[in-house]
Amino acid sequence: MTVQFEAGMTGRTGPAGRDGSQPDCQRDGEGLSGIGLALLAAAAMCVPFFGIGAKVSHDAWWAIESVRLEKEEAARAWQRVVEAPALAMVPVDRAAHGRDVFLSACILCHGADGRGVDGLGRNLAESPFVAAQGDEDLFKFITVGRPDAKPVAMPPRAGRTDLADADLRDVVTFLRGLQDPRRMPRLPEPVALASPAPTEQDKAKALAAAGGDAELAGYIAHGTTIFNSTCIACHGAGGLGIAGNGKMLKNNEFVRSLDDDGLLAFLKKGRDPSDPKNTTGVGMPPKGGNPALSEDDLLDVISYVRTLQDKKTAAK
Ligand code: HEC
Ligand code: HEC
């Protein structure tokens, strides 16, 4: 009976037993699953120390067990939310705006329904992490992101410098309703978020890049704002790239190798990780993950991306 108890206990406390801090009988006990009469004899010799051994073993076991239980509890955070009586409905105007921001900034990696995109961001609708964070902590998380996450980096503020704190707080409100549909009021139809207005600097740059052609400059300036709302999360400001995400688009060989039609076809299709031409193992989603972009939007983005190529080598 003693032997059985020892074996059971040490089976669970293996890692603690290995640190050598415990009486010999513990370490002997560890070998019991392998068995052998010699070990049985050793265990028998340990019997006088059994009282102490069991205490130490129990404490170590409990330390490990409580970490495990804590993890299990944490993993159930979302289930707990939906099993508990529903909290108050979220305010409809804030949830609607949060949804619109989500569809502009988060859709790329978390999908239109917030249930994640294979190879990019996770399911937020059922995320225990989201369920366990208070509103303020969740807001802070979004401002910081997880720049070292796998398979791609989640950039601070989803890479969007144009979004105000109030926008991101509304996203938090939206996520509450997404996690618990009982709290989500019926939302009005989505409104496309205006792409950030081109700055004077953007306009001046566009005009210079267009060689003074005002019409082309208008396309480039519009393309800049589309880039800064959709592509920037993975390709970084100015197309300089983000570690762990999309490639650098400045002076990019692939961009130079294609004409506008070729690039448009590429942008519409993207490049799945299963595509033999994929070099990073991360997917470039169709339309950069933003299905709301029209062909004209994409052509304007292309005009902008052309300005990131050195003049003398740019394709025409
Ligand atoms: C470029 C891709 C990308 C964009 C854009 C992005 N995320 Fe993420 N996000 C990720 C990845 C990848 C993870 C998972 C990180 C990990 O596994 O540690 C993540 C994780 C999260 C988590 C934690 C989920 C969990 O269960 O741990 C939250 C919350 C979140 N994102 C919210 C947002 C919101 C809100 C937006 C829009 C404002 C957004 N993300 C935009 C890639 C992205
Ligand atoms: C969710 C992340 C993500 C978004 C958003 C995104 N891309 Fe990409 N993009 C990638 C990844 C990853 C690659 C590299 C794929 C590979 O390994 O070949 C890539 C590749 C590219 C390439 C080919 C570069 C090369 O050298 O092969 C171009 C051009 C490009 N993206 C343009 C864009 C444009 C324009 C937008 C916005 C409309 C955009 N991307 C949005 C992730 C993204």
Ligand 2 mutation pick, 235, 254, 258, max ligand atoms within 8 A of CB:
235
Distance 119 CA to ligand 2 centre (A): 14
Give the Cα separation of 24 and 56 in Å (integer).
Answer: 12
Please tell me the predicted confidence (pLDDT) of residue 58: 87
Question: Are the beta carbons of 223 and 128 closer than 8 angstroms?
Answer: no
**Consecutive 10-residue runs of the chain (316 residues): their mean pLDDT?**
38 38 42 56 58 79 91 92 96 98 96 94 97 97 94 93 96 98 97 86 94 96 94 93 88 96 97 92 93 96 96 52
Among 108, 104, 63, which residue's Cα sits nearest to residue 229?
104
For residue 276, give both structure tokens.
């033999």
Give the Cα separation of 36 and 218 in Å (integer).
Answer: 83
Specify the residue with its C-alpha closest to ligand 2, atom 32.
267
Question: Are the beta carbons of 84 and 159 closer than 8 angstroms?
Answer: no
How far is C-alpha 3 from the geometric centre of its chain's CA atoms? 48
With tokens 């009982």, the residue in question is 182
Please tell me the predicted confidence (pLDDT) of residue 3: 38
Specify the residue with its C-alpha closest to ligand 2, atom 14.
246
Please tell me the predicted confidence (pLDDT) of residue 216: 96
Please tell me the predicted confidence (pLDDT) of residue 311: 74
With tokens 């942008």, the residue in question is 267
Q: How deeply is 72 buried, as exposed, middle or buried, from its count of CB atoms within 10 A (0-12, 13-18, 19+)?
A: exposed
Please tell me the predicted confidence (pLDDT) of residue 196: 79
Please tell me the predicted confidence (pLDDT) of residue 11: 38
Please tell me the predicted confidence (pLDDT) of residue 26: 43
Q: What is the pLDDT of residues 41-56, one digit of tens each?
A: 665 565 555 667 777 7
Q: What is the pLDDT of residues 172-193, one digit of tens each?
A: 999 999 999 999 999 999 998 8
Give the Cα separation of 218 and 296 in Å (integer).
Answer: 12
